[in-house]
Chains A and B, each alone.
Chain A
Amino acid sequence: MHPVLSKYGQPSRQSRVAIGIVLVKFIKTSIRAAWPILLGLLIGRKNSDNFTQYLLIAVLVFAAFNLIGSIMTFFRFYFSLDESSILIDKGILKRTKINIPFERIQTVNLQQNLLHQMFGVASIEIDTAGANKSELTIDALKKEEAEAIRQFILEEKKQIQSQQDPLSRGLESENESEIEEKTLLQLSFNDLLKIGFSQNHLKSMVLLFAFAFSIINEISSTLGDDLVEEQLSGFEAYFLNSGWAMALGALILVFIISFIYSMISTILVNFELKMSIQGKGFKLFKGLINREEISINTSKVQILSWSDNPVRRLFRMHTIILAQAGSTEANQQHTKIKIPGAYLKQIKQIAWLIFPKPFVRKEQKHRVSKVLMYRIILVAGFIPSLIAAGVGYYFLDAKALFFLLWLPFLIFGTVLYYKKRSYEINDELLKNNKGVFGNHREMVQLYKVQAVKISQSWYQRRKKLANIHLYTAAGAIKIPFITLEKAEALENFVLYKVESNDVNWM
C-alpha cells in the first residue's frame, strides 16, 4: 500500500499547530470586525478605571472563547484519503462532510504564512473548477507530509485519468522520462528592487487613500463625526493657510510613502521567487511572510498574458500572468501564476511550453476600426468635458473651463490606445495587443475557447462593425470594433477549431 494511504487511510486530524493557526485566523477576523468599537471605547472613556477593568475582562473572555472554539474546531476536523478521493468531516454546530474525487480537483497548492514557517507546517488548498463547495483547506500539516499528500493526489489523479482512457497512456509514460526540474525564472534581490521601483505607485497611492478613508470612516461612525471633525478641522485650516508650498510638500510626502509601500509589498510578496518546470507542470515558489507554492499543469493554462509600463520598459521587464480555470472569479486570484519581472526571452520560453511551439510567432497585425477612436473621444471626451465646462461656467465661474483640459489628455491617451490596439491570429493561437502607456498582450490557444459571442450596438450595425468575445474558463478575450465580416470569420473559425478538437482543455 502507498505510504500516504497507510497513514491517512483512517480519518486523521491536522498537526496540532492548526489550533494556533485557527486561533490567529479567529482573532484576525474578530479584530478586523471589532477594532473600531474597542478603539472607540478606549478613547471615549479612558478616565474611568472601572471601565478599563471591564474592558479587560471582556477581552479576556473573548480570547478564552476563541481559544476554546479553535480547539474544538481542531478536534472536530478529520480528513482521510483513499485511492480516488479525499474526504473531510468537520464542524462543531453544523457538521459537514465533503468528498472530492481526485479527477475533479483542479489544483493543489501549499501555503505557509509566518506562523506556518515558524513551526515547519504548511496549509493545503484544494480547488475544483466546479460550482459550489469547491474550495477546501487543511490548515496545518507537517511540510513534508503536506508535500507527500499533494504528490499522492496528483499521481492518483493522473492514473485515474489514464485508466479512463487508454489513448493517453502512451503520452503519460513519455512524460515520466523527463521529470528533472528546470528553472525557468528566478528573481534576485536586485531584480526585486527594479520591480518595486517600476511598480504602479499611483495604484498604491489610491490603495493607501482608500485605506485611510475607510479607517476615518470607521472611526467616525463609532465615535461620532464631531470628534473626528474636531481633530481634522485644524489640519484643514493649516493646509489652507500654508498655501501651495505646503500642498506640494504634502503631495511629495504622499508619493514617497506610496513608493515605500509598493517597494516593501513587492519585496514581501515576491521574495525569492522561483519558477520552474518539471515534466508538464509549472511550479512557483514565492513570498517572505507568506510563503506560497503554486503548481499549474502546462495544458491547464487558459490565457497567457504579459504587460509592461513605461518605467518597467527601461529595465526590459514584464509582468506575466498564467491564468487557469478557477471555480469563481475571486478564486482565480489563487490559481493564477503572476510574476512581475520576466524578460522577453523567458516569456517566449514559457509560451513554448504552453502552446505548440511553431505557432508562437509573429503574425500580421489586424487593426481595429478607427471608428473606435472617434467613438471614445466623442463619448468619453467631448461630451462630458463640454457639459462639465458649460454647466460649471454657467453656475460657477471661469475656473470651470479647466474641465476642457480633460479633452486633449483623453485624445492623447485614445490615440496611443488606438495605435497599439490590434490582434494576430494563426491556425492555433490568437494574440491580443493593447495598452495605453504600457503594452498588454494576451495569448490564447483557440481550442480552449468555450463560448464565442458577437455583439453589435445599433451604431456599430450601421457601420457594419462588431465586437467579438472569446470566453475561456479563466476569463474572456475581447476584440472591439472590427468589421462584421472579420468578426464572423473569426467566430466560425474558432468554433470550427473547438468543435474539431479532441484534447482536454482544462
Chain B
Amino acid sequence: MIFENLTVDTNELPKTSELSFEPLERKYLTVSLLADALFFVPLLIGSACLIFFNDNIATVWTNFVYLCGGILLLWSSAILITYKGFFKKKYALRSRDVIYKKGLFWQSRISIPFNRVQHAEIKQGPIDRMYSLYSLKIYTAGGHSSDLVIPGLAEDKAQGLKEFILKKTAEDAPRIK
C-alpha cells in the first residue's frame, strides 16, 4: 500500500488514469487552426504595412524576409502545437464525476465530482458557430480557478452532457446540511 495509515487501499479504488477517454470533435481542430490564423494573419499584414509605409525602415526584401519570416516561423510552430495538442484534449464521464485532460508539454488532468458542481452551461463562440460546435462550461463554488471548459462538442453531445451533469448534480447533492 502506498499510504499505510488509510483504511482504504488506494489500489482498489477506480483509477482515473485507466479510463477510456473520448476525443473532441475533429472539426474543433479546424476551429483552433482558424483561431491561430485570426491572430497571425493581421500580425503579418500589419508588419508588412509597417515596413512598406514607415519611412524609417527601408522597403527592401530582406526586411520583409526577416520580420514576416519570423512571424511565419512562429505561426508554423503554433500550428504544430495546436495540431499535436488537439489529440491530447480528451474527456471522460464516470457515474460520479467528469474528467478532462489536456496539454502537450504541460499535461494536466482535472476531475470534478458532480456533487461539487454549482452550475453547467453550454456556450458558442463566433468561430464555433460556423462549424456548429459548442463548449461546455462547468462551474464550481468560490473563484474561478477550478472551473472547467470542455470545448469542441457537437450540439446534441453538449446538450446531453449538460443535462446529464445537471441531473447528476441534483441527485448527488449533499443530503445532510
A interface with B by C-beta (< 8 Å):
129-131, 161-162, 164-165, 167-168, 171, 302, 325-329, 332, 363-364, 366, 425-427, 449-458, 461, 471-476, 485-486, 488-493, 495-496, 498-499, 501-506
Contact = CB atoms under 8 A, between A and B. Distances in A.
Interface residues of B, number: 42
Contact of A364 (B5, B13, B105): B5
B10 A489 contact: yes
A502 B115 CA distance: 9
Nearest to A492: B13
A454 B177 contact: no
B17 A427 contact: no
A493 B7 CA distance: 11
Residue among B4, B5, B141 having the largest count of chain A Cβ atoms under 10 Å: B141
B42 interface: no
Contacts of B175: 165, 167, 502
B57 interface: no
Contacts of A326: 142-143
Given A161-B177, A496-B8, A498-B116, 20 more contacts: A129-B141, A129-B142, A167-B175, A168-B177, A332-B143, A366-B3, A425-B6, A451-B112, A452-B111, A454-B108, A461-B107, A475-B145, A489-B10, A492-B14, A495-B97, A499-B97, A501-B174, A502-B176, A505-B116, A506-B142
Nearest to B98: A451
B129 interface: no
A433 to B, nearest CB: 16
Nearest to B140: A450
Contact of B145 (A454, A471, A505, A506): A471
Contact of B96 (A485, A488, A499): A499
A200 B81 CA distance: 44
B132 to A, nearest CB: 28
A451 B141 contact: no
Contacts of A455: 103, 106-109
A41 B7 CA distance: 73
Interface string B95-133: 011000001011111111101101000000000000000
B16 interface: yes
A471 B10 contact: no
A138 B101 CA distance: 45
Interface string B151-177: 000000000000000000000101111
A32 to B, nearest CB: 27
Given A165-B175, A474-B142, A506-B141, A491 B116 contact: no
A451 B143 contact: no
A451 B148 contact: yes
A498 B117 CA distance: 12
In terms of DSSP, what is the predominant structure of the interface of chain A? mixed
A385 B118 CA distance: 47
B176 A168 contact: yes
Interface in B66-114: 96-97, 103, 105-113
26 contacts: A161-B177, A164-B177, A165-B175, A165-B177, A171-B176, A326-B142, A332-B142, A427-B7, A449-B116, A450-B113, A451-B140, A451-B146, A453-B108, A455-B103, A455-B107, A472-B142, A476-B145, A476-B146, A489-B10, A490-B3, A491-B111, A495-B111, A498-B113, A498-B116, A499-B97, A504-B174
Contacts of B96: 499
Given A493-B3, A506-B141, A165 B176 contact: yes
B146 A450 contact: yes
B45 interface: no
B38 interface: no
A129 B118 CA distance: 10
B143 A503 contact: no
Nearest to A425: B3
Contacts of B8: 427, 493, 496
Given A498-B116, A501-B174, A473 B142 contact: yes
A87 to B, nearest CB: 23
Contact of B17 (A451, A488, A490): A488
B2 A489 contact: yes
Residue among A168, A329, A473, A503 having the largest count of chain B Cβ atoms under 10 Å: A473
A490 B6 CA distance: 11
Contacts of A329: 143
Nearest to A426: B5
